[in-house]
Structure 1
Amino acid sequence: MSALTGDALAQARAEAQQAVRRVRAACPRLDDAAIDLILRDSRSHYAWQDKPVPRALLEEIYDITANGPTSMNCCPARFIFVESAEAKEKLARSLKAKNIDKMMSAPVTVIIAHDLDFWKELPFLFPHEDRRPHFEGKPEHSETTAFRNGTLQAAYFMIAARAVGLDTGAMSGFSNKIVDEAFFDGTSLRSNFLLNIGYADETALFQKLPRFPFDKACKFV
């Protein structure tokens, strides 16, 4: 545990507050074009251009993602970038038939996973106090926390990928059991879903499906 104390803690808190104020002053909100790009007019894609994704760009996406909030800064998500032909063939064995071509044609497929033993890293990630006893010997609580926060990080990852100019296509039509046996055997990692990323071939798109209006999905109490 290496938590700051005393004057060092006060200085760090003051600097953090100033940094947030600077960010808000520089960009009070995203413009409509940026919001359209990351969510409002974004689409899930199924076909891909034959154009590689630079690894530096993948590292940038992760760096953006890692700054998204999770409970106790637990950061349980793990991202496995499947690029090689051998790894793609192994991953294909887990997929439903209709999803194989989508995955094989994507420059990169990311196995979005979470670490059930995330809590062992809390002394580094959350040094203020030792929160490991909240999870040690509590596998159900650990799994629920890992899945919830790992899914949050997966959403940040998708938005970050779109923000830097890539397209995404999430897939759940696969066997988690097969993926976990093939890629995570003997580890504490478990798969959540798959995400194809790259530069989309828009000719495979169909019309955008409807969404619920505010009054259908939301209420005030």
Structure 2
Amino acid sequence: MPLALDTAAQDLLFREAHTANAFTDEPVSDEQVRAIYDLVKYAPTAFNQSPLRIVLVRSPEARERLVGHLAEGNRAKTAAAPLTAILATDHEFHEELPRLFPAFPQAKDAFFSERPVREHAGAFNAALQIGYFIVGVRAAGLAAGPMTGFDAEGLTKEFFPDGDHQVLAVVNIGKPGPEAFHPRSPRLDYDEVVTTV
């Protein structure tokens, strides 16, 4: 068998996992989210920069602020989800580099002194972390409903008014409810994607 994960784990994380569009009202605890983060914090990022920042939306007031920035098709399911995470990149991630990448303490100034470089690097590396976050939600036995249908500028200003962050994704989290999943859409086959040189 070419994979180290057993079939059940493969199914849980990949084959049977779908983007969820409906959830039960069973709450998602802080302990569950902490366990997810403690697993996915090991996602690979360049220079271990770790630019992902997460805001957990729990209160009705925060939920209302969030929903107003979402595309119409994402509003009802987000209003009803037991937990929603706003995932953003921190453009000032380089301030943590001396601690996070002690093997090369000069990286902060050598590579990331200019804001456009940090914005590009941060968005790419936070996207890697977001992929791991979604798999981590699945590993916790929960379903994830990641979305990009929102007013990114408005949502960023609403939840990160400091100007040093950019929202990249919004993820609803919980136990899947009835009719949670659309039919599986096709994927490209190996020979359509992979070439060898």
Q: TM-score range by the shorter chain?
A: over 0.9
Residue 141 of structure 1: CA displacement? 1.2
**Which residue of structure 2 aligns with residue 145 of structure 1?**
121
CA RMSD of aligned residues (A): 1.2
Native 8 Å contact 1:48 1:105 kept in 2: yes
Native 8 Å contact 2:134 2:144 kept in 1: yes
Question: Which among 83, 94, 103 is matched to residue 108 of structure 1?
Answer: 83
Question: Which among 151, 165, 168 is matched to residue 189 of structure 1?
Answer: 165
User: Percent identity, aligned pairs only?
Assistant: 34
Residue 67 of structure 1: CA displacement? 1.6
Q: Give the whole-Å Cα distance in 1 for the aligned partners of 2:67 and 2:182.
A: 25
Q: Alpha-carbon deviations, 1:15-39, whole Å to 9, x = none? A: xxxxxxxxxxxxx811011011111
Unaligned runs of 5+ in 1: 1-27
Runs of 4+ with deviation above 2 angstroms = 134-137
Q: Evaluate the alpha carbon distance shift between residue 175 and residue 62 of structure 1 in structure 2; reply closer, same or farther with a 3 A threshold.
A: same
Give the AA of the match of 1:140.
P
Q: How does 1:25-174 map to 2 (within 5 A)?
A: 29-130=4-105, 131-174=107-150
For 2:167, what is the secondary structure of its paired residue?
A: strand
Native 8 Å contact 2:157 2:163 kept in 1: no
Give the AA of the match of 1:166.
L
Question: Which among 176, 184, 191 is matched to residue 208 of structure 1?
Answer: 184
Native 8 Å contact 2:83 2:174 kept in 1: yes
Q: Alpha-carbon deviations, 1:78-119, whole Å to 9, x = none? A: 011001100000001101111101101111110010100101
Query: Structure with the greater relative contact order (CA < 8 A, sep ≥ 6): 1 or 2?
Result: 2
Q: Alpha-carbon deviations, 1:107-136, whole Å to 9, x = none? A: 111001010010111011001122111344
TM-score, normalised with respect to structure 1: 0.85
Residue 69 of structure 1: CA displacement? 1.6
Higher helix share: 1
Q: Alpha-carbon deviations, 1:130-174, whole Å to 9, x = none? A: 211134442221111100110111111110110111100111110
Residue 64 of structure 1: CA displacement? 0.7
Q: Give the whole-Å Cα distance in 2 for the aligned partners of 1:204 and 1:41.
A: 13
Residue 71 of structure 1: CA displacement? 0.9
Give the AA of the match of 2:181.
L
Q: Give the whole-Å Cα distance in 2 for the aligned partners of 1:50 and 1:150.
A: 29
Q: Give the whole-Å Cα distance in 1 for the aligned partners of 2:20 and 2:186.
A: 17
Q: Give the whole-Å Cα distance in 1 for the aligned partners of 2:8 and 2:180.
A: 23
Unaligned runs of 5+ in 2: none
Q: Give the whole-Å Cα distance in 2 for the aligned partners of 1:33 and 1:97.
A: 36
Native 8 Å contact 1:119 1:135 kept in 2: no
For 2:70, what is the secondary structure of its paired residue?
A: coil
Q: Give the whole-Å Cα distance in 2 for the aligned partners of 1:178 and 1:93.
A: 9
For 2:179, what is the secondary structure of its paired residue?
A: helix
Give the AA of the match of 2:158.
A
TM-score, normalised with respect to structure 2: 0.95
Deviates more, 1:134-143 or 1:162-171: 134-143
Q: Give the whole-Å Cα distance in 1 for the aligned partners of 2:64 and 2:173.
A: 17
Residue 202 of structure 1: CA displacement? 3.9
Q: Give the whole-Å Cα distance in 2 for the aligned partners of 1:126 and 1:79.
A: 21
Aligned residues: 194
Native 8 Å contact 1:45 1:202 kept in 2: no
